[in-house]
Structure 1
């Protein structure tokens, strides 16, 4: 049975306090650093996001006997393999990070995942690891999971190149293992770097564990070196905070307090404070968190470049659509290879309220000329947590929303529906 969510809001006012889970992005990096440090680094405030819980479980069990599925539901096509099978389900970050992590381990592992994961490319990262000296084969389709990592890593070179405009997770995966490579790593980034803040986050977290680097022009260099004995504290999740900013933007009156968030964050999505200032949301950092308030103001910003914060794209586009703000968006190149094709998903769901997201090359324009407010709207989530959470703020303008597969939010924000209920939203679970 699939659990859907009926979401309502009787008024357009929002106030209260929200305690956010730890950042999935930070936590996943910290967990890999912890594993690579051989126990020297400890992670504090581990996120309860499903992806982080899954990754932590896999790393804890790493090395346990062969023919054992370490996580997920397994895969009948490869269950008789003599290799250790690691099923990461829909967790894309875990797939990229574990590909690099297992590439330098001694044991033979097959990394697999959900059907959608098998459609998400991994070839650029695999090719880079092969050049470094990893032994990796494709089990099904060339360039896509599942993959077999054969262990017996022997470094062939320290210099590799990788495209910067595909996924920053490929770059992060390589940087995370760099200090464990006998000859270190000199990583050349080709072309423009997408999601730069995520790479900066990775390097800052490595630095906190005493792993030094240099970054000159498009070259990042990390030598072979030892991790320090230390703790990495995972900050609350700014990506999760973005949905509360969106709710505040669509409210008539908002007074929200998000605990634990700081003005100077490693997370690139903290830029939501600047973006939402365009919609009248003021952020005040005090009392151990951030206070959000709403004031009426004209929206003047017409172009949003989301190259460095693509995970905010759905949230911002939906807010603009809800407010009839026909903005233009750039920097969305990576959205088509996420949990779903997020461009197509946005176009399909926004069309249910008469809004068009028009694609012209790498530029996207909202057309709200035929927009209408339905009494009820069904939201397909496409197995994508961010589709559910980005559309939830529409409950402030649409009388009733129904979300397919409510538990999809567990991937990054398991308490999302519960938190909405605590702050006055009607949240009804129904079985389908």
Structure 2
């Protein structure tokens, strides 16, 4: 029997709250991969614990990596990678793109699969790349999940050319495991620009932080073979998961502060400072964190979100509540995320009375008075976040399958109610 819908809280007044955001999913899953490949024990401090990161931890455990809990932290012990093993990716892009190159280093057979929709997500480029680097993979010609890796305990490595225009994770997955390849790796991208460039910068920075030698130039990344250090990696708050909370300040004419906002970061969510300011928010950063204040009214947004596509659902929801039209572009790759996010946003906002039109690479959003109704989420955590923002200003928004937000933010509904009622 389906779970009851979640009634998105209507804001009775401008919000005024401080919201502590849990750790970054992107950093947590990269740190777990690097810790698993390190030559000495490692600690991932203040990690995010959500469906995506728990799937990552379990995937690495199944390959022989020791991962133990130490309070809120994860401790890892290096171990011999081996099969047989079965990897459940769920809907996590970081698991399905980052784990196969690690699994290729295992001695034995590893089966990789995930949720039904995960079988539609782009995997062909990384499967082809691993084959060219010397890995035997059986996918029955699908270029997608499920597939079987027949590992021999080592990967030759070398130079490979891929089209990573559908996801930067296709490059990051190869780079993260490359220090353990016999020849390292040189990844060359050919095709339209790689989306989410900040995530690639994050991968490079985190590799270097644990001792890897990485060289980059335009559309080329080189990682030399060599040992990785263990030690401690401290995870920053997930800035992309701050989007809906900071957006609430704009939507209600209130104030929201997110503590611990880093002064310097590779996280794409840091772009929220400029994007929300462009819509009319007052944005400031100080010792207490990042604060966004709404002024009561706010305008639309004309922005290329190619590098920060994950912010699109919340920004689209804000745009539907704005006082002037918005045009969000550079995000054609969102059609291959947890769901086709462009089609989903058009369908669900328009079902509430909105006027959203799909563009070849984005969305045109013309604000109209909205009404309540059921907002479907398509097993996509960011659709829940978009619905919650709309519900602040639109009575009667009922969110289907709110539990899917556990993919990256299990405590979302509690944090959201606390903010609205603060």
Cα offset for 1:56?
1.2
Residue equivalent to 1:343: 342
For residues 143 and 229 of structure 1, the distance between their equivalents in structure 2, rounded to whole angstroms, comes to 34
Q: Contact 1:41 / 1:229 at 8 angstroms: preserved in 2?
A: yes
Q: CA RMSD in A?
A: 2.0
What is the CA–CA distance in structure 1 between the aligned matches of 2:288 and 2:55, rounded to whole Å? 29
Aligned to 2:211: 210
Measure, in 2, the Cα distance between the counterparts of 1:156 and 1:10: 57
Cα displacement (A) at 1:222:
1.1
CA contact (8 A) 2:63 2:106 kept: no
For residue 399 of structure 1, the aligned residue among 390, 395, 399 is: 395
Q: How far apart are 1:22 and its partner, in Å? A: 0.5
Divergent runs of 4+, >6 A: none
Structure-2 residue corresponding to 1:424: 420
Question: SS in structure 1 opposite 2:180?
Answer: coil
Quote the residue 2:251 is aligned against: 250
In the alignment, is the contact (CA less than 8 A) between 1:134 and 1:153 conserved in 2?
no
Q: State the match for 1:69 in structure 2.
A: none
The answer to whether the Cα contact below 8 Å between 1:40 and 1:227 also exists between their aligned partners in 2 is no
The answer as to 2:137 corresponding to 1:136 is yes
TM-score (normalizing by structure 2): 0.90
Q: 1:127 to 1:327 in 2, by over 3 A?
A: same
Look up the match of 2:353.
Answer: 354
Counterpart position of 1:6:
7
Corresponding residue of 2:73: none
- Conserved in 2, the CA contact under 8 Å of 1:27 and 1:47? yes
SS of equivalent residue, structure 2 residue 108: coil
- Equivalent residue of 1:160, what SS? strand
Contact 2:301 2:319 in 1 (8 A): no
The answer for the alignment partner of 1:124 in structure 2 is 125
Paired with 2:142 and 2:289, the residues of 1 have a C-alpha distance of 47
1:327 matched to which residue of 2? Answer: 326
Matched, 1:190 2:190: yes
Q: In 1, Cα distance between the equivalents of 2:15 and 2:362?
A: 34
Distance 1:153 1:284, change over 3 A: same
Looking at structure 2, the residues matched to 132 and 44 of structure 1 have their Cα atoms a distance apart, in angstroms, of 33
SS at the partner of 1:19? coil
Counterpart position of 1:104: 105
Q: Which residue of 2 aligns with 1:68?
A: none
Distance (whole Å) between structure 2 residues aligned to residue 359 and residue 404 of structure 1: 23
- The verdict on how the C-alpha distance between 1:287 and 1:415 changes in structure 2, with shifts beyond 3 A counting, is same
- Among 362, 366, 370, the alignment partner of 1:373 is 370
Q: Distance in 2 between matches of 1:30 and 1:23?
A: 10
Q: Residue 156 of structure 1: CA displacement?
A: 4.9
1:135-165 Cα distance to aligned partner (Å, 9 max, x none)? 11116x6111011011016545511111131
> Counterpart in 1 of 2:36?
35
Tell me how far 1:113 sits from its aligned partner.
0.9
| Paired residues of 1:49 and 1:410 also in contact (CA < 8 A) | yes
- Once the two structures are TM-superposed, the CA of residue 363 in structure 1 deviates from its matched residue by 4.6
Please list, as runs of the form range in 1=range in 2, the aligned pairs for 1:135-284 lying within 5 A after superposition.
135-138=136-139, 142-152=142-152, 155-156=155-156, 158-191=158-191, 192-252=193-253, 254-284=254-284
Q: Secondary structure at the match of 2:292?
A: strand
Q: Any unmatched runs of 5+ in structure 2? A: 66-82
CA contact (8 A) 1:245 1:281 kept: no
Q: Deviations over 1:353-390 (max 9, x none)?
A: 3323323432532233xx2321x221101100000111
Secondary structure in 2 matching 1:247? helix
Is residue 409 from structure 1 mapped to residue 405 from structure 2 by the alignment?
Answer: yes
Contact 1:135–1:153 under 8 Å retained in 2: no
Tell me by how many angstroms 1:413 deviates: 0.7
Q: Counterpart of 2:279 in 1: which secondary structure?
A: coil
Q: How many Å separate the matches in 2 of 1:8 and 1:296?
A: 19
* Paired position in structure 1 for 2:78: none
Is residue 331–residue 362 contact of structure 1 (8 Å, CA) maintained in 2?
yes
Would you say the 8 A contact 1:133–1:154 is kept in 2? no
For the residue of structure 2 that corresponds to 1:116, the secondary structure is helix
Of the two structures, which has the highest relative contact order with CA contacts closer than 8 Å and spacing of 6 or more? 1
Deviation at 1:302, TM superposition (A): 4.8
Residues 44 and 10 from structure 1, CA distance in 2 versus in 1: closer, same or farther, beyond 3 angstroms?
Answer: closer
CA offsets 1:78-112 (integer angstroms, 9 cap, x no match): xxxx9422222222221111112101221211011
Post-superposition offset of 1:40: 4.0
Q: CA deviation at 1:396?
A: 2.1
CA deviation profile, 1:58-81 (whole Å, cap 9, x unmatched):
2133239xxxxxxxxxxxxxxxxx
Q: Provide the TM-score with structure 1 as the length reference.
A: 0.88
Distance 1:206 1:120, change over 3 A: same
Pairs within 5 Å for 1:14-33: 14-33=15-34
Tell me the CA shift for residue 196 of structure 1: 0.7
